[in-house]
């Protein structure tokens, strides 16, 4: 099955007794049983079943199984937000005294989370570029995980997953990938060698901009060293599924960051059209990037442009696609604000992955609480505009952006 057919007819599209075409929303807190013995079996994981929606719910399960099938994992856990998914996944392998290796230039919220984790004794070592060499040099006895974004938001650095995974695995460390911006349509990090994939489903997976959510998928291939990852030791009998079972029966359940059933339903609807949306979004973004790059004085950061520093990975890892985010620089903060205000169709909003084109000035919003150095590592300058390209008609989008840029340079503003 190709991608779109699999979305609609894959084996994770479960049939259910009432024959609904879509997974029904199980908007309930708890599930009732005929006898105490039956409920005991559910609690002992001796029989399949649901007890309480923080721990498991049929709508969440339907959504988890679909993402798991697309990513090729052994199981998935859905969370209340992308940040909740990242936090839960990291705490699934780290405790006080441990270290994380991450690339600078990640999503701003994730960088802030790494700062928060310092207060719990978990230290993050940032490498400016994540390569096999920088990762190898940063590994210590305390390193428990290497964390990266496949396509970083908004820097648009692409991670060489097979090469970095190899270095991590030599040191018995897993590679966790935030693949929010890539989506399973563009790339499958587990097949490239990563151990765990995380998504903020709030973005492309939902697609309609109607609910916050996140998900963690375990690839089930990591040969855990239970002395090194002692937090997983109680789950040793599950071998390569130890991380998933720790989340399922322990950390995720206890932290309480579950997804709401209604959001899982909305995410399932969004998922149905992920393939066609991404196809359109990537082709729109490529056309818009080329049109903007042709304007003198405008610097464009988009992966399919031949001079992009990470261009080789477009064919190597991203199936020839550049994703939905592009950034461009217009010369000054004042010009950036003026261009944004002159746009007719692009909405000024702090989000990505919507079907509507969205724009923002990251330096004065998403990166307002980070240092100058962290900003620049994320490709965020005073004059950078970030665009999350939508599914509008390409001609209209190109005309809107080109006229906005031209109107600002014509008036000689700033």
Ligand X SMILES: *Cc1c(COP(=O)(O)O)cnc(C)c1O
Footprint of ligand X (CB under 6 A): 81-83, 107, 109-110, 149, 153, 178, 180-181, 200, 202-203, 212, 214, 352
Distance of closest approach, residue 64 Cβ to ligand X, in angstroms: 16
Report the SS3 class of residue 231: helix
Of the candidates 264, 225, 232, the one whose C-alpha atom is nearest the C-alpha of residue 64 is 264
Nearer to ligand X, 81 or 267 (CB): 81
Nearer to ligand X, 53 or 200 (CB): 200
Distance of closest approach, residue 403 Cβ to ligand X, in angstroms: 29
| Beta strands, E only, 285-412 | 299-301, 325-329, 347-348, 358-360, 384-388
Contact by Cβ (8 Å): 383, 332:
yes
What's the rounded Cα separation, in Å, for the pair 300 and 403? Answer: 16
Nearer to ligand X, 83 or 405 (CB): 83
Nearest-5° Cα angle at 323, 320 to 327: 120
Nearer to ligand X, 107 or 302 (CB): 107
Distance of closest approach, residue 126 Cβ to ligand X, in angstroms: 16
Of the candidates 210, 208, 213, the one whose C-alpha atom is nearest the C-alpha of residue 354 is 208
Residues 6+ positions from 375 with CB-CB distance below 8 Å: 362, 363, 367, 381
For ligand X, which residue has the nearest CB?
Answer: 82
Handedness of CA 263, 269, 271, 277 (dihedral sign): negative
Question: Is the backbone of residue 200 left (phi > 0), alpha (psi -120 to 50) or beta?
Answer: beta
Nearer to ligand X, 68 or 267 (CB): 267
Nearer to ligand X, 81 or 400 (CB): 81
Distance of closest approach, residue 167 Cβ to ligand X, in angstroms: 22
Nearer to ligand X, 110 or 357 (CB): 110
Nearer to ligand X, 121 or 256 (CB): 256
User: Where does 1-81 have alpha helices with state H?
Assistant: 3-9, 36-43, 58-71
Distance of closest approach, residue 165 Cβ to ligand X, in angstroms: 19
Lookup: tokens for 30: 């708890």
Determine phi and psi for 194, rounding to 5 degrees: -70, 160
Residues 6+ positions from 412 with CB-CB distance below 8 Å: none
Name the strand (E) or helix (H) holding 109: helix 108-118
Distance of closest approach, residue 163 Cβ to ligand X, in angstroms: 21
Distance of closest approach, residue 173 Cβ to ligand X, in angstroms: 21
Of the candidates 59, 112, 146, the one whose C-alpha atom is nearest the C-alpha of residue 50 is 59
Cα dihedral 62/66/68/74 (nearest 10): 60
Distance of closest approach, residue 108 Cβ to ligand X, in angstroms: 9
Distance of closest approach, residue 288 Cβ to ligand X, in angstroms: 19
Name the strand (E) or helix (H) holding 289: helix 274-293
Nearer to ligand X, 157 or 335 (CB): 157
User: Where does 124-230 have alpha helices with state H?
Assistant: 132-138, 161-170, 183-186, 189-192
Distance of closest approach, residue 110 Cβ to ligand X, in angstroms: 6
Nearer to ligand X, 65 or 200 (CB): 200
Report the SS3 class of residue 326: strand
What's the rounded Cα separation, in Å, for the pair 8 and 16? Answer: 15
């Amino acid at each position: 099955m190709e991608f779109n057919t699999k979305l609609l007819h894959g084996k994770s599209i479960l049939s259910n007794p009432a024959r609904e075409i879509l997974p029904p929303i199980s908007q309930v807190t708890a599930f009732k049983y005929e006898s105490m013995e039956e409920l005991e079996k559910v609690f002992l994981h001796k029989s399949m079943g649901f007890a309480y929606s923080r721990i498991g719910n049929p709508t969440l399960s339907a959504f988890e199984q679909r993402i798991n099938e697309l990513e090729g994992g052994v199981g998935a856990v859905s969370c209340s937000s992308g940040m909740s998914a990242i936090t839960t996944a990291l705490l699934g392998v780290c405790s006080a005294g441990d270290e994380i290796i991450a690339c600078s230039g990640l999503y701003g919220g994730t960088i802030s989370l790494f700062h928060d984790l310092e207060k719990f004794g978990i230290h993050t070592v940032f490498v400016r570029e994540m390569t096999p060499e920088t990762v190898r040099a940063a590994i210590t006895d305390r390193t428990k995980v290497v964390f990266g974004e496949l396509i970083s938001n908004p820097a648009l650095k692409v991670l060489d997953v097979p090469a970095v995974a190899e270095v991590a695995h030599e040191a018995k460390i897993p590679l966790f990938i935030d693949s929010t911006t890539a989506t399973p349509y563009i790339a499958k990090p587990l097949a490239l060698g990563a151990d765990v994939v995380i998504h903020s489903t709030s973005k492309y997976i939902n697609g309609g901009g109607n609910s916050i959510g996140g998900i963690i998928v375990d690839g089930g291939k990591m040969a855990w060293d239970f002395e090194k990852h002692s937090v997983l030791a109680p789950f040793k009998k599950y071998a390569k599924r130890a991380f998933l079972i720790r989340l399922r029966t322990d950390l995720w359940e206890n932290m309480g960051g579950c997804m709401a059933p209604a959001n899982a339903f909305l995410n399932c609807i969004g998922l149905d059209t992920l393939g066609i949306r991404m196809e359109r979004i990537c082709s729109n973004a490529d056309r818009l990037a080329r049109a903007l790059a042709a304007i003198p004085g405008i610097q464009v950061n988009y992966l399919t442009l031949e001079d992009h520093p990470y261009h080789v990975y477009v064919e190597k890892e991203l199936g020839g696609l550049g994703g939905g985010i592009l950034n461009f620089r217009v010369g000054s903060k004042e010009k950036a604000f003026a261009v944004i205000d002159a746009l007719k169709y692009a909405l000024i909003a702090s989000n990505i992955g919507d079907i509507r084109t969205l724009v923002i000035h990251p330096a004065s919003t998403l990166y307002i609480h980070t240092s100058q150095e962290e900003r620049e590592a994320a490709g965020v300058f005073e004059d950078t505009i970030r665009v999350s390209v939508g599914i509008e008609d390409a001609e209209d989008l190109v005309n809107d952006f080109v006229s906005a840029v031209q109107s600002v340079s014509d008036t000689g503003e700033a």
